[in-house]
Structure 1
Amino acid sequence: MTGDQGHIRPEEARPDAVRPGPAPAGAVRPEELRSHQWYGTDGLRSFSHRARTRQLGYLPEEHLGKPVIAVLNTWSDINPCHVHLRDRAQAVKRGVWQAGGFPLEFPVSTLSETFQKPTPMLYRNMLAMEAEELLRSYPVDGAVLLGGCDKTTPALLMGAASVDLPAVFVPAGPMLPGHWRNEVLGSGTDMWKYWDDKRAGLIGDAELSELENGLARSPGTCMTMGTASTLTAAAEALGVTVPGASSIPAVDAGHDRMAAASGRRIVELVRSGARLSRVLTREAYEDAVTTVLALGGSTNAVIHLIAMAGRSGIRLTLDDFDRIARTVPVLADVRPGGRFLMEDFHFAGGLPGFLSRLTDVLHLDRPTVAHATLREQLAGALVHNPEVIRPRENPLADEGGVAVLRGNLCPDGAVIKHIAAEPHLLRHTGPAVVFDDYRTMQRTINDPALAITPDHVLVLRNSGPKGGPGMPEYGMLPIPDYLLKEGVRDMVRLSDARMSGTSYGACVLHIAPESYVGGPLALVRTGDSITLDVAARSLHLHVSEEELALRRAEWTEPEPRYERGYGALYDEQITQADTGCDFAFLARPGEVPDPYVG
């Protein structure tokens, strides 16, 4: 614990400061390691494995009898959020060696949020499968998971939960704050803001070019409370990181030290026999939901946490989110819902300081990968800037930052990040303007013939899990240029899509079931009246059941998006947003044999 930063410094984790709970059956002996089945028997296979490990350049004393640690790395040249993870993997390996383990690095899918099309959400489950099967099929005893850019965090943890080895997660960390003309910028959030200013004629090409240079100044994830920071905070709240890890800036030297500490910690976890399922309990997932809602975090966390919990054999629902949202305030004054950025949050106390404000609503007696209990992990955590991490008596909002909606337009639910919307739109009735797909919307949104006014409700369909495909981040529908020039900056917008956690506005998202499979959104027509009432948690289409039945009779199911390949598998197996968009064959319970060899 340090007094200058207000949080437990993970880079200074020591055996006496990081104490696991009791091992299930005492310390694991070398011959009880999973990797022993590959290396330590008298059979031909072990002889071959030892010979091939020598081919890799290792002496027997470097690996035999030691915990083998898989370092799953999502680094790539095309992922600016993870471009530093090649170096961080070396720090993890350093820590593993220091603790007496044997590290092996595995490259896995990078899922670059910025560049991958049509959306990395299409490939989250592929990375989850890859992580699971790598950990199951190779001679490893535990894993360190390096991720952070939006989909990599849930994907890696879904795969690790499914195979249930000891595991520690290393977050990529937020990038440095952006700067432009003496203004501090938040990636994503200010990109949308200034793009609208450009469309409104308030800035020109010269300013836009300068903004390109100032928005993203270093490796790391978005430094707002976007999806990346939300999910890495959720991972820390789940208890699968060393303390304070989720907010350390990517280029801070403390990030390197945290990675090494994670390497040391995983070896201790393997030796204690502490599987991931010991940490990923129902109480842990509820605390992660509490954390996300009190942070004013991304709506994407709803889908991902539901999917992650499912891989842990725990049923987490939209109703759980809504129930918890009514019990916790928003305390993080971080963009897009607030004013500050992740570096401010880190030095204000980070997640340990933040959670110290919420101890009355957390399950403090559950274990983490670093301590016997969360209570012990948070002992002494402080907040040093009450403007960034607010006290309970001065919240940013009285209730959690995401609301779950129900109604005849979303019988299986929808979500809205209401703290990032203009308050006057949180109860609104207006006529719909319907777009059947994103490209049509882009092409026609500025057409004066549509006569769109601020009172209209913009509706985008066929952008869900199947329809998108992959449920792209289309949910922050653009406001027509001519309204932007009049000063309009928010409108009610509905879709079965997602939106970036850095986005903002009165955007209703994740409408389930999606229109592409015949959900009620498929039946909406331009001119229909729609009411959004966040306080009542309601989204209602004012069309009679008889008329909707007639429209349903006229609706025809679209052709599948894919005829072959991964896309066809995705189309056949993907579940809806309210159940986490996992693959049905991965989400169902069942045993998978461990492929031990003799």
Structure 2
Amino acid sequence: MSTDTKKKLRSAQWFGTNDKNGFMYRSWMKNQGIPDHEFDGRPIIGICNTWSELTPCNAHFRKLAEHVKRGVLEAGGFPVEFPVFSNGESNLRPTAMLTRNLASMDVEEAIRGNPVDAVVLLVGCDKTTPALLMGAASCDVPSIVVSGGPMLNGKLLGKDIGSGTAVWRLHEDLKAGAISLHHFLAAEGGMSRSAGTCNTMGTASTMACMAEALGVSLPHNAAIPAVDARRYVLAHMSGQRIVEMAHEGLTLSKVLTRAAFENAIRTNAAIGGSTNAVIHLKAIAGRIGVELELDDWTRIGKGTPTLVDLQPSGRFLMEEFYYAGGLPAVLRRLGEAGLLPHPDALTVNGQSLWDNVQDAPSYDDEVIRPLDRPLIDDGGICVLRGNLAPRGAVLKPSAASPHLLRHRGRAVVFENFEHYKERINDESLEVDANSVLVMKNCGPRGYPGMAEVGNMGLPPKLLRQGVKDMVRISDARMSGTAYGTVVLHVAPEAAAGGPLAAVRDGDWIELDCAQGRLHLDISEAELAERLSHFQPPESPMQGGYQQLYRDRVLQADEGCDFDFLVGCRGAAVPRHSH
């Protein structure tokens, strides 16, 4: 290796000198049994690991990291694994979204403060993908994403069931009296029968697809099942590639361009991806310095057909998606139809997005549908505005009931999630199939953390009548595994004094997705009068991280990042203390 190449590496500022500092840094590392030649100027590759037994989706990451290390060593790099906060949605209360920004801070400072030349980001459960990309983007070092992969198909009574999606459906059936408690609990073991993330097109799989569409992972990263040996091959190859990226100086800012984000928005529509992608992509873009607005989802995504027939929008699961050709097959179909905004966008393997997918095979037209037979004609995230959501709200058309996409109904209002739980099972609740369920104070500040409670379960008395869907509106999020005609991310949120705070039982609300309209049918004067009496809800916890979160979090249309974290601060080496 040339002297010039050695000097370009960040790690040389720790290990590349023969003075007191170089002596101490090398000496401390040698207590792990590391020989002299590992400090000869080869790239030091950080493996940023979100492994945790409390994050079941990521519990297999120790093995995944070992395969990354093999690739790094084979390419002449020096792998060093380090842990960061693992925020898994399945166990963490009140919501993993509360700690997404915390995890990103952990990642950013771990990268900047340590002697690493490039990083491999091991991500899985949904918030770990944006958190690690946000942290790495703020440092702008060479980075590559390796996702943990989805679980195998769930099984119940000889049939496939999807993780998350099956829970919502079976629980509604249980409340309606259509199935027994025994039947409901029988799904518990069969739904999650292997390592990996949700096997539906939930937020974890959506964000894995977003990483691939953005170009920050190798092709096929999104869909290979967690327990498929090809997942470990991809980890190995990613380890090899990151060493080359360190030599090339291929930093995230060269990949995460405006063009990359536009490709991702179009891809999200084609896969029927989670509404959570709207918030996460905005936050990642904010860290790397790319301007991305809520209206970009309308401008770029609107009119894009949904091609992937996966739960919760469709029928199949991630196993079938991979076997059918995975995301490269989707991107090829988009590209051939002229629907890939920027096919020449650079990816981490050094090739363009189109170079990676132009010959991608597609093996099953039922799972990945052709353009002339889409799951739905327009799968772009529907952005709504009006006096109820001046800064916007979103709805996922592919998971909604077509007959409810234009609707007018009277509001049934819940002041918060606890109020919803108190009222929803009340047989005397004044509600019918045309009502609009409205829940307040579940946004970024209000919950806090903006929990996935927006897909409110329907009143049992309506479920028993055969009602399957209703219009629901909140400032909350919903799981990507959920479905229904659900308006989410209303901004500004109720807890910040947004118009949602003024809605009362019996108010008429109009939803018109074709026109992008969400309207509370009261006069401007009446709305102003109601809001003049607004009092922010009291928080159950004062001080600590939750206080920081409430004080500094941005609204949903801004990505829910902290105001002081937006922007790229770079990877300049901090001053040493020796």
TM range (shorter): over 0.9
Q: Give yes or no for contact 2:288–2:567 (8 Å, CA) kept in 1.
A: no
CA distance in 1 between counterparts of 2:457 and 2:3 reads: 58
The reply to whether residue 551 of structure 1 matches residue 523 of structure 2 is no
The two structures, once aligned, show a CA RMSD in angstroms of: 1.4
Q: Which residue of 1 aligns with 2:385?
A: 406
Q: Give yes or no for contact 1:132–1:160 (8 Å, CA) kept in 2.
A: yes
Q: Give yes or no for contact 1:408–1:539 (8 Å, CA) kept in 2.
A: yes
Q: Which residue of 1 aligns with 2:408?
A: 429
> Cα–Cα, structure 1 residues 27 and 432, in superposed 2: closer, same or farther, change >3 Å?
farther
Q: Which residue of 2 aligns with 1:146?
A: 122
Deviates more, 1:395-404 or 1:333-342: 395-404
Report matched runs for 1:277-292 at 5 Å: 277-292=253-268
Q: Give yes or no for contact 1:28–1:271 (8 Å, CA) kept in 2.
A: no
TM-score (norm 1): 0.94
The reply to whether residue 183 of structure 1 matches residue 159 of structure 2 is yes
CA distance in 2 between counterparts of 1:189 and 1:78 reads: 21
**Quick one: which amino acid aligns to residue 273 of structure 2?**
G
Q: Which residue of 1 aligns with 2:294?
A: 318
**Quick one: which amino acid aligns to residue 450 of structure 2?**
M
Report matched runs for 1:357-506 at 5 Å: 357-359=333-335, 360-362=338-340, 363-506=342-485
> Cα–Cα, structure 1 residues 590 and 101, in superposed 2: closer, same or farther, change >3 Å?
closer
Q: Give yes or no for contact 1:459–1:494 (8 Å, CA) kept in 2.
A: yes
Q: Give yes or no for contact 2:444–2:450 (8 Å, CA) kept in 1.
A: yes
Q: Give yes or no for contact 1:248–1:254 (8 Å, CA) kept in 2.
A: yes
**Quick one: which amino acid aligns to residue 220 of structure 1?**
G
Deviates more, 1:396-405 or 1:263-272: 396-405
Q: Give yes or no for contact 1:28–1:273 (8 Å, CA) kept in 2.
A: no
Of the three residues 137, 143, 154, the one matched with 1:161 is: 137
Q: Give yes or no for contact 1:69–1:143 (8 Å, CA) kept in 2.
A: yes
Segments of 5+ residues of structure 2 without an aligned counterpart are none
* Cα deviations by residue, 1:298-343 (Å, 9 ceiling, x for unpaired): 0000000011111110111110001112242111111111111111
Instruction: Give the secondary structure class of the aligned counterpart of 1:404.
Output: strand
> What's the CA shift for 1:276?
1.2
The reply to whether residue 57 of structure 1 matches residue 33 of structure 2 is yes
Q: Give yes or no for contact 1:28–1:272 (8 Å, CA) kept in 2.
A: no
> What's the CA shift for 1:589?
6.1
Deviates more, 1:559-568 or 1:297-306: 559-568
CA distance in 2 between counterparts of 1:575 and 1:492 reads: 26
The reply to whether residue 303 of structure 1 matches residue 279 of structure 2 is yes
> Cα–Cα, structure 1 residues 106 and 270, in superposed 2: closer, same or farther, change >3 Å?
same
Q: Give yes or no for contact 1:562–1:571 (8 Å, CA) kept in 2.
A: no
**Quick one: which amino acid aligns to residue 316 of structure 1?**
L
CA distance in 2 between counterparts of 1:44 and 1:560 reads: 51
Give identity over the alignment, percent: 51
Instruction: Give the secondary structure class of the aligned counterpart of 1:247.
Output: coil
**Quick one: which amino acid aligns to residue 450 of structure 1?**
L
Instruction: Give the secondary structure class of the aligned counterpart of 2:57.
Output: coil
CA distance in 2 between counterparts of 1:27 and 1:556 reads: 64
> What's the CA shift for 1:28?
6.3
**Quick one: which amino acid aligns to residue 30 of structure 2?**
R
CA distance in 2 between counterparts of 1:396 and 1:460 reads: 30
Q: Give yes or no for contact 1:469–1:561 (8 Å, CA) kept in 2.
A: no
Could you list the runs of 4 or more consecutive aligned residues of structure 1 that deviate by over 6 angstroms after TM superposition? none
Instruction: Give the secondary structure class of the aligned counterpart of 1:104.
Output: strand
> Cα–Cα, structure 1 residues 361 and 596, in superposed 2: closer, same or farther, change >3 Å?
farther
TM-score (norm 2): 0.97
CA distance in 2 between counterparts of 1:144 and 1:543 reads: 53
Instruction: Give the secondary structure class of the aligned counterpart of 1:539.
Output: strand
Segments of 5+ residues of structure 1 without an aligned counterpart are 1-25
CA distance in 2 between counterparts of 1:435 and 1:227 reads: 26
